[in-house]
Chain A
Amino acid sequence: MSEVRAAEVLSLCDISSGYGAVSVVKSVTLSIRPGEIVALLGKNGMGKSTLLKTILRLIPLRGGVIHVGGVDQAHLTPARMIAWGLSYVPQEQALFQDLTIRDNLRLAVRSDGELGAALDHAFGYFPFLRDRLKQKAGTLSGGEQKMLILARALMLRPRLLLIDEISEGLQPSVVDRIVGVLRDERSRDRTAMLVVEQNLDFALRIADRWAVLKMGEIDDEGSCGQNAHARVLEHLSL
């Protein structure tokens, strides 16, 4: 895949990466257009989190090419990609537990001048944050923390959102809320999303397309339709 359609926000071409001697992501080809939500599914240890970290350049790319917003990622730093409009929701250790909610959000904006507008946008989705700005992030419940992380990611109106297992350990009611927020964000701003998930129901509710990652490669993919659920379940089942 040598030409990159400029309209694509993300394009992964036969990429591979890993840790030390281990190759976790072996060969992945995937692209996402503006406004598209793609669900990346698969069992543990198959390379989903590693893939997201590679896109963000937290882990070096070993093979293949990544284009973010039409630009070769090799020429970009995480800071530049984030300035362009990339936002990341990590799976673990995603918040500074000892810092206040306000400081956690503040760290995501580039300068304090932008903070006001960004906070308003965040409160739009999760109003409960407005009154708790001075609270330490570690004192929030699990669900509230996930919502804070999502708020932080959406605050800057990203063009591409990378989400790593946000629904893990959440109550169904909170999951519903998140589904609403993500749908809203997509319809308002045409935000593209790559959603890594183990929770099948949640993933298929919001995604347009799905792909299953197995042993570092995409085993199967398709659009979300009636038999998507059954097909994916086959891949995930015992």
Chain B
Amino acid sequence: MLLLLDILTTAAILFVVSVGLLAIFGVLKIINFAHGAWLTIGAYCAVVAVKLGLNPWAGLPIAFVAGALLGGVAELLIIRPLYRRPLDAILATWGLGIVIGQLIALAFGRDVQLIPNLMSGTVRVLSVDYSVYRLFMLFAALAIGVLFALTIEGTRLGLSARAVIMNETLARSLGIDTDRVRLATFMIGAGLAALAGVLLTPLTSVDPNMGVAWLIGAFMLVMVADTSYLALAAACLVFGGAQVLVSTFVSPVLGGISVAVLAALLLRINPRGFSRA
């Protein structure tokens, strides 16, 4: 039972962290290596909220907006010029991540920031005492997933985004402003990443480099999922499950790399997303 809850909540956390990256990879067809930095930005928005005396939950909307706005600036200045150079886009976004990390360190210092948990304590679930917050993450992942699905399936922007994902030239020849779609998507993806950063604060220590550890796992999951958020959810379950199982029964250290290794092997056998990138 404990194992099952661990697997489900790990999958939920992975999903929340990766969904922003998926949106960007799907529409813009690049891997945003600054994703880790945006997680950090989000976490520090929570820090700022607390410093301003606000409820820590206020960090969520602040982070989303801040992340989206900064994402917009990044897309215009850095991503757009590298439209035809995807490998260089990876490098440039990595550089951007370094810059953001150092700016945060300069502004807030290198030390770990302590902020009150969004939620704490345990609750009894079917004969097991489990962390309330981790259970909340299940709900958060579902909520974010549903909102994401509604946006992409129901709204006009979502339809345009799907069109651009499938065939950008055709979309343009129908009069769709593909530049605007890409900008909007990047902003939403960045906003989601910052949001995820806030949600990570009770689970990990908040310091200027906290996001990097999540980057590789997130991007391997996105590569496996390609453009489908349902596939991402499935990947999070399968690989998250593997991570938990390996951590529990083999070693926590090897558990940490199981997502990356399994994903790399799977992609060797079945390239999927690589044929589009």
Contact = CB atoms under 8 A, between A and B. Distances in A.
Interface residues of A: mostly helix, strand, loop or mixed?
loop
A98 B228 CA distance: 13
Contact of A99 (B163, B172, B176): B163
Contacts of B173: 56, 58, 78, 88, 90
Contacts of B167: 93, 96
A82 interface: yes
Contacts of B171: 107
A107 B163 contact: yes
Interface in B155-191: 156, 159-160, 162-163, 166-167, 169-177
B85 to A, nearest CB: 17
A78 B175 contact: yes
A93 B166 CA distance: 10
Contacts of B163: 96, 99, 107
Contacts of A94: 170
A230 B173 CA distance: 35
A196 B77 CA distance: 40
Interface string B232-249: 000000000000000000
B177 A79 contact: yes
Given A107-B159, A107-B160, A96 B166 contact: yes
A108 B174 contact: yes
A56 B175 CA distance: 10
Given A93-B167, A96-B167, A107-B163, A82 B174 contact: yes
A152 B231 CA distance: 32
Interface of B: 156, 159-160, 162-163, 166-167, 169-177
Return the 9 tightest CB-CB contacts between A and B, nearest first: A82-B175, A79-B175, A108-B174, A96-B166, A79-B177, A88-B173, A107-B163, A107-B174, A78-B172
